[in-house]
Amino acid sequence: LEDWPKTEFKTAISITTPGEGLKMRPLHRDDHQKGFLTNLAQLTAVGDISEKEFHDAFDKMKATPNTYYVTVIEDLNKGVIIGSATLLMEQKFIHNCGKRGRIEDVVVSDEYRGKQLGKILLTALVSLSKHLDCYKISLDCRDQMIPFYETLGFVKEPNNGNFMVIRF
């Protein structure tokens, strides 16, 4: 992981030291109690999910090993999740049975914005995807987030950068 990516931070933070009292780590089964979903609700609709429903979804992800890398940042002083992002691994037949990574559900609590925590999360997940031998990683995002992801090396591919969707 040493050589990728060459992300520069404005202040002396890194993946292992994201900031005073902050810790980046994988999602835990008890993070429902630490406001994981409340933070996620700053990204999009989460719904009214009970602890049991959260645990069921968590257990399903755990039962599919090496696929869901849900990563959080906890404010240890408050015991609250204040940021999260997911690397989702997709097994392919193409590219020599290669693996594609998808970056999903990136969100940092509005109280903690401007501390480069999104950049820290993405740097970790991009490094991880490289380490796990993805032949590419991709994401979809709102227009206003494009410059942010460009700073991390993401590009819109000509003739290929169209996100299409059917909503149910």
Contact residues for ligand 16G, defined by CB under 6 A: 43-45, 103-106, 139-141
> Toward ligand 16G, which CB reaches closer, 105 or 111?
105
Q: Do 55 and 29 contact (CB within 8 A), yes or no?
A: yes
> Toward ligand 16G, which CB reaches closer, 12 or 164?
164
> Toward ligand 16G, which CB reaches closer, 17 or 145?
145
CA distance 116 to 98: 31
The least CB distance from residue 20 to ligand 16G, in Å, is 25
**Residue whose beta carbon is closest to ligand 16G:** 44
Q: What is the largest CA-CA distance in the chain?
A: 47
> Toward ligand 16G, which CB reaches closer, 45 or 166?
45
Q: What is the dihedral of CA 121, 127, 129, 134, to 10 degrees?
A: 150
The least CB distance from residue 150 to ligand 16G, in Å, is 13
The least CB distance from residue 132 to ligand 16G, in Å, is 18
**Residue 56 structure tokens:** 């069921």
Nearest to 28 by CA among 79, 72, 66, 67: 72
The least CB distance from residue 26 to ligand 16G, in Å, is 17
The DSSP letter of residue 4 is: S
